[in-house]
Structure formats: C-alpha cells, structure tokens
A and B are shown apart, each in its own frame.
Chain A
Amino acid sequence: MIYKVISKPEFRKFIDVLVRENTSFGPRQVDTAANGNPVYQFMPVASADEIEFDYTATASSAKHFFLPFRDELSRFSFHDRTFEQHIAYESEPVVLIGLRPCDISALNILDDVLLNGRYPSPYYLAKRKNTFVIGMDHLPLPDCFCKSLAHHTVSTGFNLFCSDIGEKYYLSINSSKAFTYLEEFQTEEPSYEDNCLMTQRRKLISGSFRTEVDVTSLPSILDIEFESPVWDKWGAKCLNCGTCAMVCPTCYCYSVDERFDIDLKGASRNRQLYSCNLVDFAVVAGGHNFRPKNGDRLKYRYYHQHRGFAENANQQICVGCNRCGRACLTGINPKAVINDLRMEKESCMTCVSPSPDRT
C-alpha cells in the first residue's frame, strides 16, 4: 500500500477524467424520502459533478455489479440431435466510486465464498478483476453497526481508498493501476500533520457509532436457539418479500432456470439472485417444502449471515451495514433480532420465563 494526499479539487479532476473515459457508477441522489432524507444509489455517472461525494449510504449495495440480479450463464444452440454450449466469462470494465468500508469488506467476503472455495466462479472473477474500486470513508449513520463486526475499516479489496481529512483526501493506493493513473495528478506524500489528521479521522469515525450489536459467540447461540420462539415472533412480521436479501451486500444465494429461445433454436441458462426468505426456496420435487413457515425462512437468512459461514471460514458474512434493517417494511433488523436471541438465551440461563415479547 502506498499513501498519498490529494487536494479535493485535484481529486475531483482525477475522478472526472476517470469517469469520462470509462463506464462508471457512483452515488447519486435518486429521491427524497417522505421524511426528508435523501435516497442514494450507485448510478451511472459521466462526470464528477454527477457524483455526491458527501453521500451517506446507498439504499442498495454494490453487489449486483459483481453478481447481477439476473445473468445469463451459458447459451445453447441446437443442431439436430446435438447442441453447442457457449460460455462467455468476459465482462466490460467498470469503475465504481464511493464504496464504503463495509461495502468493500462485503466484496472481500464474496471473494472468499466465490473464489476461494472448491469451485471458484469464473463469472464473478471476471467482474471482480475488471472493476476498479474506489472506496471512501464516512461518518456512520445512527443505525450502522459495522464496527461491531470490525468492518468499519478495510485494508484490502479496493484499488484506491480515500479518507476525508478536511481540505484533502488521504489516499491509500492499493493497485498499480491506481498508482499510474494518479501519477498524472498532483498528489503529495502525507505530512506529519496529514497523518495526525488521518488518525483523528479514524478516531472520530470509530467513536461515532451509536448502534452496537454483540455478535460474540453468535454462531453457538444461534445453534442452541434453533427452536427459539424468537423466530416465531419475527417470522410473524416477515412478509417473505426478499427485500433484505436483495439490498444486502453479501446475500448471494441464487436460483437457476433454463429457457428456450422463442424460435426454439437455442436456449439460455440463467442465474437469478434469490433469497432464503422467499417462500419456495426450499421446495423440492413433488412440492415438499423443507421450510414451510415464515419464521423458518427468516431464521435461515440469519443463519446464513451470522452462523452458516462461520463453520467454513470462521467469519460471519454480515458486514453490519444495516441496509436490510432500513429496507425492511416491517422493521425486522439484525440488531433487534440478535438482541432478542441473546435475551432469550440469558433468560433461559436465569430460568426466567422465555417470553418472546420482551425486547
């Protein structure tokens, strides 16, 4: 890693050149919510002016740039009794600007899942390799809890990371590509003062978290609480709408379907991001549903986020961005659910009645 500082106007110039030359996405305000809050999303940008450098957090994560919501995996073309299968792993180069530390951590987790397992995914790899990621730090929103999962800072997984130290950005350069591009712009070695400002910035961010979720020993708590009434309580609220999984930066479960082309001369094999909260996720041939109840399905999402993966790589895959909590119509969020489970556990230990209504 190489560290530099750059003045804000110069940084804008750099971004401007970069986005004008490449297909780029950055945070833009797409709406104003009824409560007056701006709503941001990663949207196409063609100049630095279109980017909201001081945005808070996007409503949906950047996951779909790497795992499209719908993606053609392969094509078949038919000839008489046989067929050809075609696969294209290529992907167009993309610049992504303004990812938060939690977003980048999420990409690192997806790397683990999709690249380091027994069967690395070439589709994902192609996109990951062909995406230039520029991260930016920010002050947490009141409900962010990435610090609880130690994802409020990030040291890998990006090409360039910018920390706002007032007049300048403090740059962490993590790829030769980023380094070469920046050579054309005026950057400086960080001075002692810059380094102090950077430390202050870190402290400020770290000290600004207002939400904390105790995730210690969560995997085993989840295991023990498999039959907990907490799942019925939250299950009763869950609409099985899948919103949480769609906006989440790490939910990656998918479904595959195959379709004939309309002229029947070919077919496509497609992947669609799915969610364990959706009603038919665990249905098998003959119609048997292994998870018939709302609570069962909701539980599985929490299992996958906070326990499932723990056994494989000893880390939870939730990064604490609380996008799911913000997006959930009925107010289901990790903090509330996890706290409930903890209470449940503790109440059992002290032989207090395990009332699910207590929060």
Chain B
Amino acid sequence: MNQQGMHFEKLKIASFDFTCCEGCQLQFANRESSLPAFFELLDVRAFREISSEKHDDFDMAFVEGSISRSDEIERLQSIRKQAKILVAFGTCACFGGVNSLKNRIPIEESVVEVYGEHPVETLPVQKISDIVQVDLSIPGCPVAKEEVERIVVSLVTGSKVNLPKYPVCVECKQQLNTCMFDLGEICLGSITRAGCNAVCTSGKTPCLGCRGPAEDINFPAFTELVKERGLSENDLREKLGFYNAFEAYRTDET
C-alpha cells in the first residue's frame, strides 16, 4: 500500500482465544460496512474462529481471554515466542474479566459444584500479563470495534496508538446522559478509562469498569463519595470486582 508517498505494510496478524466468550474476536467481523477495507489492512495468518488457514509467520498476536489451565499457559508462551507484538485483546485478557469471579471460591469446590465426581483441570484465573509480557492492551467487554479499527489503522500507518487517559464521565456528559449517581446508582464511570463512548450509561446502566482504571485516578475520593452519598458498600464491592479491573486499588474495605 502506497499512500502520500509513504509505504505501508499490511499487518501480519493472528488471533487466539483462551478462557472467554470469544465476543471480542467476534468484533473483528462487526462494523460490516467498513469490513472489506478493514481486512485490506490485515494479512490474517491464523484465526481459527473465522478461517481454516493457519500459518505461524505472524508478527502480531491478538490474544483474547484469560488463562485458567496449564495447556493454556504453554500455548500462550509459544505465541509470545512468535509474536513481535502481543496484544491483550479485551477485558478478560487485560484484567482477567468476569472469569476472575471464580477465584472467590476454592477451586475444588467449584469443580465439585459443576462437574460432581468427574473432576476437570482448572486453575485460578490469571490475566495475560501475569504469564507473558504484553505490548499493547485493548480493553473492553467486548472491545469497541471502532477503537480496534483506529488502532489497526495506526499500527499500519505508524501513527500514534492511544487510548484515552481520561475517564468515562467525559464521554457520558457528551452524550447528555443523566448521571447514574443522580439516579441513585453507583457508577464506576469516573474512575474507568473512556473509549467506549459511555455505552453502558447511555443505556442507563451503571459503568462496571470493563476498560479498567483511567490514568492517575483518585480512588480514595471515589470511595469517599460513595460513602457520603450513603450508597451500598456491598454494591460497590460487587461492581469493583465484576471485571477484576480494580484489583490494584481494592483494599479490605472496598
């Protein structure tokens, strides 16, 4: 591809999934009107969900899902060896995602609960960066395809790949939404990284923080505000724990 006198190379990508719902990978096939142009930017070397072709010579690996079995660890490590750029793709990959809720209960209990006396192998859920080095994180449950498109275009052209550093409230206010706090709900929008176009609060459901913490958040002021407004601390705990994205900030109290 030549544009403006510069030469751009297609991205040699591969997409892999681990413990997850595959909803993020599915976004590759969404935003149909720009799909043909989108795939023009990619040289898909391996992508089991949509293609039977499989080659090992990719530069960039999109890794979806969290890690919860020993074979997954091995598979991830071999992907890391091959990939020049490894992308943690989606909330499960970036933070562990909803799967991490399992970690609240001892593993054996979970196995017995679901599989009775036929045990299956399973480990506590880990995020991708617990196992291998991650070069780029694209959070979201699911990832926002528009943002994925933008990032892919940036990678192809060599322009800046950036996620917003500010929180969801900015986008929420731009949509003229009524603040969930005014509707009596705890919302994680003010501590969560924007980029989703405030999709949840625009649908009048509180932000559960799938995109993880915004840059340099004021977590103490946030928990203080929940207390001051007399909102349920149980609810706060449930929300902060939902995607495991605020692990680093949680204290025994929250």
Known contacts: A34-B182, A260-B153, A262-B37. The answer to whether A242 contacts B166 by CB under 8 A is yes
Determine whether A185 belongs to the interface, using a CB cutoff of 8 Å to chain B. no
Identify B190's interface contact among A60, A239, A258, CB under 8 A: A239
A50 is an interface residue with CB less than 8 A from chain B: no
Does A327 reach chain B (CB closer than 8 Å)?
Answer: yes
B159 touching A31, Cβ below 8 Å: no
For residue A265, which residues in chain B have a CB less than 8 angstroms away from its CB?
3
B150 contacts A239, C-beta separation under 8 Å: no
Task: Determine the chain B residues whose CB is within 8 A of the CB of A215 once the complex forms.
Answer: none
Q: How far is the CA of A9 from the CA of B86 in the complex (A)?
A: 66
By beta carbon, the residue of chain A nearest B168 is A241
Report whether B221 and A278 are in contact in the complex, using a CB–CB cutoff of 8 Å: no
Q: Cβ of A279: which chain B residues have Cβ within 8 Å of it? A: 165-166, 214-216
Interface centre among B165, B170, B181 (most CB of A within 10 A): B170
- Whether A278 and B4, one on each chain, are in contact in the complex, defined by CB atoms closer than 8 angstroms, is no
Task: Give the residues from 245 to 272 in chain A that come closer than 8 angstroms, CB to CB, to chain B.
Answer: 246-247, 258-265
Judge whether A16 is part of the interface by a CB distance below 8 angstroms. no
Residue of B nearest to A59 (CB): B178
Q: Give the distance in Å from the alpha carbon of A331 to the alpha carbon of B181 in the complex.
A: 12
Known: A41-B176, A278-B165, A280-B165. A237 touches B221 (CB 8 A): yes
Contact call B174/A246, Cβ cutoff below 8 A: yes
Cα A237 to Cα B183 in complex, Å, equals 21
Chain B residues near A80 (CB, 8 Å)?
A: 2, 4-5
A181 interface residue per 8 A CB criterion: no
Residue pair B183, A239 in contact (C-beta under 8 Å) = no
B75: CB under 8 A from chain A? no
* Contacts known (A247-B173, A280-B165); A327 close to B179, Cβ less than 8 A: yes
Partner of A242 from B4, B169, B228 at Cβ < 8 Å: B169
Instruction: Count residues on chain B whose CB falls below 8 Å from chain A CBs.
Output: 46
A251 CB, nearest partner CB in chain B, Å: 11
Most buried by B among A236, A261, A275, A329: A329
Contact present for A264 and B3 (CB under 8 Å): yes
A39 adjacent to B221 (CB under 8 Å): no
Choice from B178, B217, B225 contacting A329 with Cβ under 8 Å = B225
* B173 and A240 contacting across the interface, CB-CB below 8 Å: no
Evaluate contact between B150 and A238: CB separation under 8 angstroms.
Answer: no
A239→B37 contact, CB < 8 A: no
Contacts of B153 in A (CB 8 A): 259-262, 264
Contact A31–B218 (Cβ < 8 Å) = no
Q: Does B107 contact A (CB under 8 A)?
A: no
**A289 CB to closest chain B CB, in angstroms?**
9
How near does chain A come to B214, taking the closest CB pair, in angstroms?
7
Selected from A31, A41, A78, A273, the residue in CB contact (under 8 A) with B4 is: A78
- Complex contact B38–A275 (CB within 8 A): no
A109 CB to nearest chain B CB (Å)? 20
- Distance between B213 CB and nearest chain A CB, rounded to angstroms: 11
Give bound CA distance, A109 to B243, whole Å: 44
Residues on B with C-beta less than 8 A from A69 are 174
A264 touches B8 (CB 8 A): yes
A31 touches B183 (CB 8 A): yes
Q: What is the CA–CA distance of A275 and B173 in the complex, to the nearest angstrom?
A: 12
The residues of B that contact A243 with a CB separation of less than 8 Å are: 169-170, 173, 179, 190
Q: Return B78 CB to nearest CB of chain A, in Å.
A: 32
B8: nearest chain-A partner, CB-CB: A264
Considering only residues 201-242 of chain B, those with a C-beta below 8 Å from chain A are 214-218, 220-222, 224-225, 228
CB within 8 Å of B: which A29-80 residues: 30-31, 33-35, 39, 41, 43, 59-60, 64, 69-70, 78, 80
| Smallest Cβ-Cβ distance to B6: which chain A residue | A81
Q: Is the CB of A241 within 8 A of B8?
A: no
Complex: A260 Cα to B161 Cα, angstroms = 12
By the criterion CB–CB under 8 Å, are B221 and A239 in contact?
Answer: yes
B159 touching A329, Cβ below 8 Å: no
Q: Are B218 and A238 in contact (CB under 8 A)?
A: yes
- Mark interface residues in B121-160 (1 if CB within 8 Å of A CB, else 0): 0000000000000000000000000000110011011010
- A80 to B2 alpha-carbon distance, docked (Å): 8
CA distance A30 to B183 in the complex (A): 12
Q: Which residues of B contact A220 (CB under 8 A)?
A: none
Instruction: Please give, as numbers and ranges, the residues of chain A lying within 8 Å of B218 by CB-CB distance.
Output: 236-240, 294
| Cβ contact within 8 Å between A60 and B5 | no
User: Within 8 Å of chain B (Cβ to Cβ): is A89?
Assistant: no
Within 8 A of B (CB), among A316-343: 327, 329-331
A binding-site residues for B, Cβ under 8 Å = 30-31, 33-35, 39, 41, 43, 59-60, 64, 69-70, 78, 80-83, 236-243, 246-247, 258-265, 273, 275, 278-280, 294, 327, 329-331
12 contacts between A and B (CB under 8 A): A33-B183, A60-B173, A82-B4, A239-B167, A239-B222, A242-B170, A243-B179, A264-B3, A278-B166, A279-B215, A327-B173, A329-B181
**What are the 8 tightest A-B residue pairs by CB atom distance, in nearest-first order?**
A34-B184, A246-B173, A241-B169, A69-B174, A81-B5, A31-B178, A263-B37, A278-B166
Q: 9 new A-B pairs (CB below 8 Å) besides A30-B178, A60-B173? A: A31-B178, A33-B183, A69-B174, A242-B169, A260-B159, A264-B8, A264-B41, A264-B153, A329-B190
